[in-house]
């Protein structure tokens, strides 16, 4: 985890949003393509977002449920494809495409260039899943933020920050999606605190996914 100094928020901690939000708090995701270990990085990124939101909401908004990723089948509203290549198009390592209706995200398709070491694929997966949740590229601040537009260039962690997580809290509670979210003054900017015990809480949900996967890069 990359250390981010604790500091009180001000106008510099701001993240753009993509213009849509999910109505359901549970978001099924189907991961396909690539190899088993590449798919595992996407599944692990789903768990990181789940755990980070649990930590954040428990600490700051105990009555908020946030969003939860769960493994889905081929009919899931979110389809993630792991591509066994080092680039999708020039300068692009990942993309997310939405189907929006009146500000509501109905479905999303994600492509990830997965011909990199595991940690890099994990960061790319976590970043694109942030887009799935409605977060934009954090180009206005914070080079070490997961949602920075160039996470690999800046060697960021796959752990969401309080800026990312506060924006998700806003998305989960508003009816009209704002263009930007500023981190609340009472919340310090930092990475989420990840507990191994919380990760283990999700294991039963994800057990057996790798064993059932038979997709390879040749598919």
Q: Does residue 57 belong to any structural domain of this protein?
A: yes
Q: How confident is the model at residue 183 (pLDDT cuts 50, 70, 90)?
A: very high
Q: Does residue 6 belong to any structural domain of this protein?
A: no
Which CATH number do you get for residue 108? 3.40.390.10
pLDDT digits (tens, 9 = 90+) for 199-210: 444 443 333 333
Residue-range definition of the domain harbouring residue 198: 19-210
Q: Are 99 and 105 in contact (CB under 8 A)?
A: yes
Q: Per the structure block, which two tokens stand in for 132?
A: 């799935």
pLDDT digits (tens, 9 = 90+) for 81-114: 999 887 666 668 899 999 999 999 999 999 999 9
- Write the burial class of residue 157 (CB in 10 Å: 0-12 exposed, 13-18 middle, 19+ buried): buried
Q: Considering its fold, how many domains does the chain have in total?
A: 1
**At residue 75, does pLDDT exceed 60?**
yes
Contacts of 92 (CB under 8 A, 6+ apart): 113
Q: Does residue 96 belong to any structural domain of this protein?
A: yes
Q: Per the structure block, which two tokens stand in for 145?
A: 């933020």
Q: Does residue 102 belong to any structural domain of this protein?
A: yes
- To 5 degrees, how large is the angle CA 113–CA 117–CA 122? 65
CA distance 216 to 114: 12
Q: Does residue 170 belong to any structural domain of this protein?
A: yes
Q: Does residue 148 belong to any structural domain of this protein?
A: yes
Least confident of 29-33, 56-60, 69-73, 153-157: 153-157
**At residue 132, does pLDDT exceed 70?**
yes
Per-residue pLDDT averaged across 36-42, rounded? 96
Q: Per the structure block, which two tokens stand in for 214?
A: 């038979």
Q: Are 188 and 162 in contact (CB under 8 A)?
A: yes
pLDDT at 140: 65
Q: Does residue 124 belong to any structural domain of this protein?
A: yes
pTM: 0.84
pLDDT at 90: 64
Contacts of 218 (CB under 8 A, 6+ apart): none
């Amino acid at each position: 985890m990359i250390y981010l100094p604790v500091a009180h928020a001000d106008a510099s901690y701001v993240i753009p949003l993509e213009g849509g939000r999910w109505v359901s708090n549970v978001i099924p995701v189907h991961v396909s393509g690539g190899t088993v270990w590449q798919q595992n990085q996407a599944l692990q990124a789903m768990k990181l977002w789940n755990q980070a939101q649990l930590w954040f909401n428990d600490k700051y908004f105990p009555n908020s449920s946030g969003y939860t990723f769960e493994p889905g089948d081929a009919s899931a509203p979110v389809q993630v494809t792991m591509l066994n290549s080092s680039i999708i198009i020039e300068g692009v390592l990942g993309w997310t495409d939405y189907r929006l209706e009146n500000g509501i995200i109905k479905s999303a398709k994600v492509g990830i260039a997965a011909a990199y070491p595991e940690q890099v694929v994990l960061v790319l997966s976590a970043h694109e899943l942030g887009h799935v949740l409605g977060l934009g590229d954090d180009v206005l601040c914070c080079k070490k933020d997961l949602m920075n537009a160039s996470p690999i260039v800046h060697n960021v962690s796959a752990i969401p920050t309080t800026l990312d997580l506060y924006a998700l809290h806003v998305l989960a509670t508003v009816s009209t999606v704002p263009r930007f979210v500023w981190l609340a003054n009472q919340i310090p900017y930092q990475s989420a605190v990840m507990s191994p015990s919380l990760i283990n809480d999700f294991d039963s949900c994800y057990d057996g996914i790798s064993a059932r996967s038979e997709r390879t890069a040749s598919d």
